[in-house]
Structure 1
Amino acid sequence: MQELERRVISVGIVAPGGSQSLDIVGPVDTFSQVGRIPDAGVSYAVSLLGTAPGPIRASSGLRILPDRLIGEAGETFDTLLVVGSPDVQDETQDLALRDWLLEKAPTTRRIASICNGAFILAAAGLLEGRRATTHWQYAGALAARYPGVHVEPDRIFVRDEHVYSSAGVTAGIDLALALIEQDCGSGVSLAVARALVVFLRRPGGQSQFSVHLRAQLTEQSQLGGISDFVLANLPEDLSLARLAHRAAMSERSLMRLFREELHTTPARYVEAARVEAARSLLEIGTTSIQQVAHRCGFGSTDTLRRAFLRHLGIAPGDYRQRFQGPARNVEAKSDQADLRIR
């Protein structure tokens, strides 16, 4: 049977020297995978654009040959992705790149940054007055240098109308999957994620740091034991008073330590840990949403729902339906009541 003609979406990826190779090839491979899905209805024509003559030398030393340089062709792109570089200070002063972006922006349906490529968009004025994110290492510098940008430092990716920005490295794959979902639907996006052996397409609102990673960062500090206690006792009382008693310090001292070392409060840390545990249960099992709420310490499905919306921008029932593997479908009878809380 002859395959139906596909709509071709042109994507330009701008990569200055020093970029991380995964920031470049991650989105390239993600977009290219769509062409292998028979009923996608779309294929992507991806062009890699350099900013200087010669191969793009990645931060790892890998050399990647671009298809062309910016400004060498008058073509328009449906989608433009701008990759960052450790030398972002110099790149933001690249007037040719800035002028090229300003020329292309009005005719581009979507424009996005990966990692500290957000600095390049900000230097061109394309993030002014918008919400944006970048790799956590650069979030403070982005906010300081461009006060007109509303930086959300702990997000995988952020969409503000037609302008997107993402954290670094693997977050570029999450961003590409989100763009594919916008073009082709969630079925195609999930099929691409499975083909790439990406465990899940992470929601943009998800934290760049998992709670377990945060716990590892505190292993050598006074918070190490408290982090372990929280993760091991999620259904229990984890109030500030109990945690302070456990740590043998005053509530004020514990609050100060959390802010200094984890840049959050004990209450927010506990809620994030509970959300992460609930996500895991929703992804891998058929436990009802009510049971998930109680097992993770939320007490009620309504409290769980509000926490999910704050952290992930999606309700628990919708999260389960979108991200649970096809071989682990939830039994309709057990979750009929749960689905009504979306």
Structure 2
Amino acid sequence: MNSAKTNYVAVGGFVLAGVAGLVVAVALLTGRTGSADTYYTAYDNVTGIKYGTQVLFEGFPVGQVEAVRANPKAGGPRFAVEMSVKSGWAIPDDSLATIAASGLLAAVSIDIKAGASPNRLKPGADLKGSSGANVMSAMSQLASEMGDLSQNNLRPLLTSINKYVDSLGAVLEATAPALLRNMRELSDDLARRTPAIIASAENFSGRLDAAGQRLLNDDNLKKLDRSVANTDRMASDLAKLATDLVLTRQRIDQLLDEAKGALGDSRSELAAGMKDLGHTLDVVARNIDSVTHNLDSTSRNMNEFSRHIRENPGLLLGGKPPRDEAARPQ
């Protein structure tokens, strides 16, 4: 009897120890091993967030989610989340509470990314929330888009390809014998013509080689060398000519500068000469009528003189003019 009681006590103690260990393990996993401070954050989507969701600070467990409530404020995040964090845990006031998962199949948690502000949040304050990427949702959306792509694009494409393949198969089935026959005839004709083609190619190669030898004989090579040398000399002469042209241009510029200087020095003399010329032209213009009259008189006198000379050339030697018979008295 005492042995049975002892066994019952041992089993009961073992069960109590297991329960206590389980409670301690749960408390350690959730970060609830002592007093806690309450903080709040808000999200538009709280998929996977519920009571007991682990709260991490830079990956270190510091608490858990206590409650998720709908946010009645219009225009703001739709859900408010209450978190309990180890009492006295220092959280910078510019920290960010992000919904994240450590792996593809891992449970969702709230990871607090520490900010750089020296100021610390007080218990009961609000943390800025940021919804992380939902891998499963993204994969589901990708699978949906792939299904839509397969249904609306790939399937019609495969149908069209199958139709074209069937059409091509029918065409090949109808034309393949003739095509194969033509290919066989072409192959036979090519086989018959191959020796002639090879002979023509060899003949062309020989003629090309002979032409190359004639073109590149010693005499032509010497002429080519002389042409290259002449080209070099011509290039050198052109370079010298260019240098001479540059010097000539410099001399012309210098001559023009000297002419400008000489013109500047004699500008006063030129002005005086132009003034005198103007005065002379003015005098000529005023006396042009008398000059013209005198020239006219002189011209008439010269005409009269020439007439007398023609009638009596002896006047030039001091003779007298012949007597006019018509003027002789009766």
TM-score by length of 2: 0.17
Structure number with higher relative contact order (C-alpha < 8 Å, ≥ 6 residues apart): 1
Rg larger in structure: 2
TM-score normalized by the length of structure 1? 0.17
